[in-house]
Each structure stands twice: as structure tokens, then as C-alpha cells.
């Protein structure tokens, strides 16, 4: 009875684990591009493929690994398993890639596309098709961002604008975030491929047919080195990713430079406003200073000056003339202290192509002329 109870408990636990196991919607593509669709539990799938449960966990955002003569690829939301005979796309319903999966990928695997690895084994075509799709996706994101960023920067850097459009700054901020995400994706993609290129054993493991098909193994040992072909394939897409990263980096530098120009323009407009405010303040100070004369005459004190009708015009003229002179004096003082000083005179620099002897002779002649000028200056007085 104890053995029967233990056996029943084991079966119950296995049934419970099988019930909670995730179910994959699988798209299977063979060498001719024929597609079949089915659903299978994770436990059944990795057992059929000869893999472990952790191999189908897809822990990393982007990875290319080999397990038991199987290539497991993860390109963010795209999860694929490549064998020498077929390609499996997992969870294809959630990818929103119907056009690529049903029209482009099947024809590429069948040899109707523009894959350069059609004459090589099947795993080369599958890897190239997935890498080509991902590079084209990154290229499309860059092509979408580039004109938007250039148009926004052109509008913001316009020197005729006295203020910055906040809506343009918001658009630039959003595009900057998208550009940062693109740079991160490109960096991860390059690092993933570079990890394989740095290890010769990993490149050898990607050549699945070399270890399963005797004819392919003979070809690889006789003349066609499949490991070298795989390395060239990965280097090609690494170089394309590097070119995209350079273009994204140029956009980033352009954004930073444009931000500096925007800040300089804003500082210039702010300095103009501050200078105008300072000038008006000095004018108000000048008028207030000579307005004390009017205050003095406005007091209820009698004097003999108010009896002369010419005193009003004389005092008024003195007030405006004195205020104008003081304001002009303050403006000249402000101009002397705000204008940048003139750069010192710099003598012509000798070209680097001149020989050392010529430079020495010319330096000695300059010293002699300088000494002669100083001596004449001392003797002339």
C-alpha cells in the first residue's frame, strides 16, 4: 500500500507540473520553406529537441547559443530554434510579424530571396535570414528618426527666433530617448555577435551540418571551410551594425552641438535684455538725480528766483542736459567694461615643413632685430 501511495503521489505531481507548463505556439519551416503550425507544451518540446528546460527559458534579451547540435536565438521578442533540417519560431502569434514570417522568411529559406548563403547548409540560411531581418529593423528605426531629428534641430537653431518653441523641444526630447534606445540595441547586438567571433569553438558549434552530415564534413575538411564562412557571415552583420552605430553616434553629437548653440543663443538674448534693463536703470537714475532740483523748487519756500520767468526754462534745461550727460557717461563706462578686450597680436607661426636649420636662423634674425629695435629705442631718448 505504501508503494502504491508513493506511485500515485508521483503521478499526481507530474500531472500538476505538466498542467502548469507553458504552451508554445510554434511555426515550423523546413528547407523548402514549407510552414506548419502547431501548439506544444514546453516539456514536450524540449524533450523532442533533446534540450533541457533551461535552454527554452530565453533568459537574455539577445543571445545566440548552441545546445546539443541546436542553435537557440533570441532577438528580443523573436525566439527561434534552428536545427540542420528545420527552423522553429516560438510564440509567433504575439510577434506581429505576419508579413515577414509568411511572405519573406519562407521564400528566403527556399532560396527565392537574396540570401548569399543559399549554397551553404540550412542553418546558414536561417541565421542570415534572422540577422538580416533584425538589421533591417534597426535600419528602419534609424531612417525614421534621422529626418525628424534634423528637421527639429534646424527649427531650433534658427538665429532669427528670439525664443525656443517648447513643442519642438518636447519632440527633440522624445527623439533623443528613441535614439538612446536604438544605440543600446545596437550595442547589445554587436556584443552578442562579438562574443561568438572571439571564440573559435563557438563558431565551429554553429556549423550544425558539419557534425551531422558526412558529406558536409568532407567538404569542410577538403576545401570549403564552413567555420570560415560562418565567421564571414557574422562579421558582415557586425560591420553593418557598426555602421548604424556610427550614424546614430553622429546624430547624438549633432544633438549635443545643437543644444550648445541653443544655449548660446538663449544666453545672447538674455544678455541683451539684461543690458537693456541696465541702460534703462541708469537712465532712471540720471533723471532722478537731477530731479532733485525740481523737488527743491517745488517746496513751499519763497525765494527771488521764482519771480523771473526765465528761471523755469533754465532749470528745466539744466535738469535734462545734466541727466543726458550723466546717462551718456554711464553708458560709456558700461561699454568699456562689457566689451571683450582685443586679442593680442600674434606673430606669424612658422610652418612645420621648414627644416630645423632654417628655423634656427630665422629665430636668431628675429632676436637680432628685436635687440636692435630695443637698443634704438633706448638710444633715441
Q: Residue 378: which pLDDT band, with cuts at 50, 70 and 90?
A: very low
User: What mean pLDDT do residues 55-84 have?
Assistant: 86
Contact predicate 293/349, CB 8 Å: no
Domain parsing of the chain, residue ranges: 23-265
Checking if the pLDDT of 274 tops 50, the result is yes
- What is the pLDDT at residue 4? 45
According to DSSP, the residues that pair with 89 across neighbouring strands are: 27, 80
E strands present in the chain: 23-30, 35-41, 62-66, 71-75, 78-82, 86-90
C-beta atoms surrounding 306 within 10 Å: 11
Q: How far apart are CA 26 and CA 34, in angstroms?
A: 14
- What is the pLDDT at residue 352? 41
Checking if the pLDDT of 156 tops 60, the result is yes
Per cent of the chain over pLDDT 90 is: 17
Q: Residue 355: which pLDDT band, with cuts at 50, 70 and 90?
A: very low
pLDDT in tens, 291-343: 777 676 676 656 666 677 777 777 778 877 877 787 777 777 766 655 555 55
> 23-265, superfamily in CATH?
Magnesium transport protein CorA, transmembrane region (1.20.58.340)
Contact predicate 63/81, CB 8 Å: no
Q: Give 159's DSSP letter.
A: T
- What is the pLDDT at residue 236? 93
Checking if the pLDDT of 55 tops 90, the result is no
pLDDT in tens, 110-141: 777 677 777 888 888 899 999 999 999 999 99
- What is the pLDDT at residue 190? 93
Residue 378 or 234, more confident: 234
Grid cell digits, residue 366 = 628675429
Q: How far apart are CA 111 and CA 118, in angstroms?
A: 6
- What is the pLDDT at residue 16? 52
According to DSSP, the residues that pair with 73 across neighbouring strands are: 64, 80
Q: How far apart are CA 315 and CA 378, in angstroms?
A: 56
3-state secondary structure of 186: helix
257-261 long-range contacts (CB < 8 A, ≥24 apart) are 258/153, 258/156, 258/157, 261/157
Per cent of the chain over pLDDT 70 is: 72
- CA angle (82 as vertex; 77, 86 as ends), nearest 5: 120
Q: How far apart are CA 260 and CA 179, in angstroms?
A: 19
What mean pLDDT value characterizes the chain?
A: 76
Checking if the pLDDT of 369 tops 50, the result is no
Least confident of 48-52, 157-161, 323-327, 331-335: 157-161
- What is the pLDDT at residue 223? 57
- What is the pLDDT at residue 181? 93
Q: How far apart are CA 263 and CA 265, in angstroms?
A: 5
List, as one string, the DSSP characters of 187-207: HHHHHHHHHHHT-HHHHHHH-
Q: Residue 243: which pLDDT band, with cuts at 50, 70 and 90?
A: very high
Q: Which of 48-62, 232-246, 339-353 tops mean pLDDT?
A: 232-246
Residue 16 or 125, more confident: 125
Amino acid at each position: 500500500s505504501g508503494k502504491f501511495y508513493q506511485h500515485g503521489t508521483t503521478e499526481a505531481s507530474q500531472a500538476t507540473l505538466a498542467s502548469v507548463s507553458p504552451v508554445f505556439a510554434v511555426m515550423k519551416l523546413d528547407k523548402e520553406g514549407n510552414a506548419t503550425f502547431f501548439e506544444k507544451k514546453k516539456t514536450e518540446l524540449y524533450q523532442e529537441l533533446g534540450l533541457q528546460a533551461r535552454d527554452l527559458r530565453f533568459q537574455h534579451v539577445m543571445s545566440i547559443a548552441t545546445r546539443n547540435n541546436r542553435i537557440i536565438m533570441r532577438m528580443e521578442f523573436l525566439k527561434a530554434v534552428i536545427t540542420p533540417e528545420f527552423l522553429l519560431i516560438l510564440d509567433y502569434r504575439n510577434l506581429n510579424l505576419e508579413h515577414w514570417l509568411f511572405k519573406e522568411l519562407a521564400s528566403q529559406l527556399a532560396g527565392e530571396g537574396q540570401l548569399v548563403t543559399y549554397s551553404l547548409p540550412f542553418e546558414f540560411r536561417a541565421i542570415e535570414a534572422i540577422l538580416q531581418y533584425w538589421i533591417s529593423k534597426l535600419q528602419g528605426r534609424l531612417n525614421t528618426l534621422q529626418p525628424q531629428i534634423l528637421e527639429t534641430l534646424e527649427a531650433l537653431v534658427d538665429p532669427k527666433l528670439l525664443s525656443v518653441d517648447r513643442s519642438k523641444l518636447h519632440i527633440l526630447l522624445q527623439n533623443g530617448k528613441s535614439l538612446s534606445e536604438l544605440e543600446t540595441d545596437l550595442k547589445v547586438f554587436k556584443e552578442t555577435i562579438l562574443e561568438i567571433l572571439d571564440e573559435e569553438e563557438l563558431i565551429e558549434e554553429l556549423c550544425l551540418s558539419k557534425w551531422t552530415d558526412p558529406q558536409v564534413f568532407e567538404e569542410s575538411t577538403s576545401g570549403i571551410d564552413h567555420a570560415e564562412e560562418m565567421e564571414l557571415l557574422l562579421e558582415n552583420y557586425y560591420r553593418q551594425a557598426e555602421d548604424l552605430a556610427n550614424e546614430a553616434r553622429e546624430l547624438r553629437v549633432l544633438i549635443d552641438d545643437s543644444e550648445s548653440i541653443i544655449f548660446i543663443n538663449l544666453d545672447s538674448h538674455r544678455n541683451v535684455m539684461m543690458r537693456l534693463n541696465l541702460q534703462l536703470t541708469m537712465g532712471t537714475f540720471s533723471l532722478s538725480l537731477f530731479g532733485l532740483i525740481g523737488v527743491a523748487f517745488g517746496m513751499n519756500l519763497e525765494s527771488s528766483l521764482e519771480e523771473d520767468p526765465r528761471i523755469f526754462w533754465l532749470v528745466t534745461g539744466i535738469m535734462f542736459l545734466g541727466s543726458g550727460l550723466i546717462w551718456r557717461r554711464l553708458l560709456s563706462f558700461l561699454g568699456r567694461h562689457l566689451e571683450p578686450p582685443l586679442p593680442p597680436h600674434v606673430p606669424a607661426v612658422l610652418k612645420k615643413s621648414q627644416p630645423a636649420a632654417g628655423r634656427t636662423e630665422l629665430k636668431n634674425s628675429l632676436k637680432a632685430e628685436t635687440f636692435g629695435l630695443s637698443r634704438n629705442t633706448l638710444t633715441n631718448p
